[in-house]
Structure 1
């Protein structure tokens, strides 16, 4: 039961962050699309995650140079 509560809390937190990023116009760089059907295995594509991380790092570097 505690596991289910923690999963629900994590899902709500993720949805909130995603909704905030959509409202602010900022892309959610770290979101991983989840399958719509239940019972499927989610595999993380390391190339996609690495690319998103590179984009995030370059954006932070730009912001640090500006500030």
Structure 2
């Protein structure tokens, strides 16, 4: 199991918080609060959503039969 440390840990915690707090209309506020651009905030939200969905749904494998 990989556990980030230092800057990576801070960024991982920041990204999780951004995803948790993200709502329509507050992207500019989140960007200003964390010193990021709105584009960066949208990227973080997309990445965190994909991470969350992969944990919740697991990996589905289709079409592999022998």
TM-score, with length taken from structure 1: 0.38
TM-score, with length taken from structure 2: 0.39
